[in-house]
Amino acid sequence: MGASIRRVWIVAPHFPPSNLASVHRARLLANHLAEQGWEARVLAAAPAFYEERPDPDLVRLVDPSVRVMHVGALPQRWTRPFGLGDLGIRAWWPMLRVLRAAAARGEVDVLHITIPPNYPALLGRALWSSHRVPYCVDYIDPWVPESDLGARPFSKLGVSLALARALEPLAVARASGLAGITPGYFEGVLRRNPRLRGTPTLACQYGASRRDAEAAAASDVRPRRLVRDDPAAQIVYAGALLP
């Protein structure tokens, strides 16, 4: 492989065939990096460890240029009895081992971490500390909410919020960039961490890809609940509808 190839590792524990909306942030980014001279490598948990029902057809929407590497994770049956389902936690150590090994080989030029799940943001700080790899944290949703959401201190939500407030500053302290769906998703981070004021930021919505439309048109998959010759009005809910 030529020395001019620049490699972006995208940390996305959920990735196709996961059907979560957040997977498309990483997928759309990875699909178009080759056009800009970057090699995209996605680090995800193996689909066997997803709790959501997989959608195998989504794998067709991942560009062949994207290298996807899967790691193991703690099984849900071990962690759910303790109220722990977060895949970012269950796959954290396996992802760190892969990243450190790749960085030691000089194969990681930039690390891009989409959150949530939130705890993988700490992988960026860990890799910067061990190998000085620059990293960006991309906020699909805020990690630390603007209010306490009425959480009791020792409830599961209260503990989660306390961890968020304690860990986010550690995770972003050495970030080379912050991104988010809207500026509001990272403005709070800058406000809470004044030392990051000069850090490059980018607000970028999901957007759309013509490739997806072309793949859908060429696919033999048809809606199961939509009857085209039914004269009655039909409403199909395809997911979140935001203003």
pLDDT digits (tens, 9 = 90+) for 32-81: 999 989 999 999 999 999 998 899 989 999 999 999 999 999 998 888 88
- Average predicted confidence (pLDDT) for the chain: 89
Separation in Å, CA 224 to CA 52, 60, 220, 236? 20, 19, 12, 11
- The dihedral formed by the CA atoms of 123, 1, 70 and 210, expressed in degrees to the nearest 10: 100
Enclosing domain of residue 92: 6-218
185 found inside a domain: yes
**Bigger pLDDT: 20 vs 236:** 20
In the three-class reduction of DSSP (H, G, I as helix; E, B as strand; rest coil), residue 61 is classed as: helix
- 230 is a domain residue: no
Structural domain includes residue 35: yes
pLDDT tens-place string over residues 167-200: 999 999 999 999 999 999 999 999 999 999 899 9
* CATH code of the domain covering residue 140: 3.40.50.2000
- Asked whether residue 165 is assigned to any structural domain, the reply reads yes
pLDDT digits (tens, 9 = 90+) for 94-134: 999 999 999 999 999 999 999 999 999 999 999 999 999 99
- Which pLDDT belongs to residue 149? 63
Half-sphere exposure at residue 6, Cβ-oriented, CA atoms within 13 angstroms: 12
Residue 241 lies in a domain: no
Total domain count, the chain: 1
CA atoms within 13 A of residue 145's CA, in its CB half-sphere: 10
The more confident residue out of 235 and 142 is 142
Q: Under a CB-based contact definition with an 8 Å cutoff, are residues 35 and 80 in contact?
A: no
Residue 90 has pLDDT above 80, yes or no: yes
Phi, psi (deg, nearest 5) at residue 203: -100, 125
In a domain, 119, yes or no: yes
Residues in contact with 196: Cβ distance below 8 Å, sequence separation at least 6, in sequence order: 172, 173, 175, 178, 189, 190
